[in-house]
A and B are shown apart, each in its own frame.
Chain A
Amino acid sequence: MPEGFHDVAWLERTRAQSDVAAWLALVPYAQHIGIDVTQDPRGDGLIFLLRPQERNIGNVLLPALHGGVVAAFMETAATLDLMLAAREPRLPRIVDVSIDYLRTARVVPTHARCALLREGRRLANVQVTAWQAQETEPVATARLHFVLAPPQGPDA
């Protein structure tokens, strides 16, 4: 089996190296909307970046980013942040997401930071904040529940 999320050795190695970019490269829709990841220069967390792209526009009049694209960005950030922050290598599967849109998301770089509020044996709760100019003025917040599956675990 080629390297990928279901290759336990690869998943453990990339986790040990905090190589979240290697994970991002394997998520086609994340590539489509243009997501990057960086280490927070002022802390030990990750900051995700949604590049401004014409294809991410959802309102041509303003113009503004598509709210659903911002949601997909935040879900991707939550999933990968959780894979790194979890106690052991696990593959999160989304259960539900609730997103609040707080401000118009302009077609400029958008950032996201995640907080793992609860990691149980089977479930995790992740909170995401997305912002553009300043982190203190978020464009959206989201909370997501995930089921944590072992790599190569059975479907369900």
Chain B
Amino acid sequence: MTPTDSSPPAHAEPDAEAWRRALQRFASVIPHTRELGLEVVAVAPPEVTMRLPWQPALLGDATRGLAHGGALTMLLDTVCGASVLCGLPSPEVCPTLDLRVDHYRPAVADQAIMARARVLRVTDSMVFTEGTLWQQPEQPIARGIGNFVRLGPRNTPPGFVEALFAEELFTEEQGHA
């Protein structure tokens, strides 16, 4: 593990590991993804890679052992939304405007689902992203296109950026849930 004394201050240009920890904190504060144990594997702004460990709650067809398509949509929404945070000049709260998911092949039980998303374009009002899921390399199971709305710094709560990059502020949040 990287020693904590190598962490940059919140307003410095965060390195890849600082971003990974920040987005892991983001995933661990969201109740739905915290309960599913979603992991942030790597961040190279504006690209994010996540890993969803397998668990039976993800099943859609238990007889055949296939993941629920909606769980895949949830993962794409999450990974695309995380890429938005590191694709902006400074993280803002950006709700999903719309999401399109193409299902290429089913995700099967007992294997983690990998997710990678990146920001393609940022404008004054929008952030355009795309994401891909896979279990085996070179065999995508789903692809998503997510567009996110920039509400602007005015609608981003004070301390949002600091909270992403500061352990202690979110530790409290995690504790009460």
Are B69 and A97 in contact, CB atoms less than 8 angstroms apart? Answer: yes
Q: Which residues of B contact A61 (CB under 8 A)?
A: 93, 157
Q: Which residues of A contact B101 (CB under 8 A)?
A: 96-98
- In Å, the complex CA distance between A5 and B59 comes to 14
Name the CB-closest residue of B to A7. B63
Whole-angstrom distance between the Cβ of B87 and the nearest chain A Cβ: 18
Q: Known A55-B31, A58-B30, A75-B70; judge A28-B98 contact (CB<8 A).
A: no
Whole-angstrom distance between the Cβ of A80 and the nearest chain B Cβ: 11
Are B74 and A66 in contact, CB atoms less than 8 angstroms apart? Answer: yes
Q: Tally the A-B contacts, defined by beta carbons under 8 Å.
A: 128
Is residue B71 within 8 Å, beta carbon to beta carbon, of the partner chain? yes
Is residue B53 within 8 Å, beta carbon to beta carbon, of the partner chain? no
Segment from B6-14, B75-83, B120-128, B132-140 that makes contact with A: B75-83
Are A68 and B77 in contact, CB atoms less than 8 angstroms apart? Answer: yes
Beta-carbon contacts of B72-116 to A below 8 Å, as 1s and 0s? 011111100100000000000101111111110010000000000
- In Å, the complex CA distance between A29 and B56 comes to 8
Are A71 and B99 in contact, CB atoms less than 8 angstroms apart? Answer: yes
- In Å, the complex CA distance between A67 and B148 comes to 12
Instruction: Provide 27 A-B residue pairs closer than 8 Å at the C-beta atoms, listed in order of the A residue.
Output: A5-B63, A28-B57, A28-B62, A29-B70, A54-B31, A54-B177, A55-B32, A57-B30, A58-B30, A58-B32, A59-B93, A60-B30, A67-B81, A67-B96, A67-B99, A68-B73, A68-B74, A69-B32, A71-B99, A72-B69, A72-B74, A75-B69, A96-B102, A97-B101, A98-B100, A100-B97, A101-B99
Residues of chain A touching chain B, judged by Cβ–Cβ distance below 8 Å, are 4-6, 26-33, 54-61, 66-69, 71-76, 93-101, 104
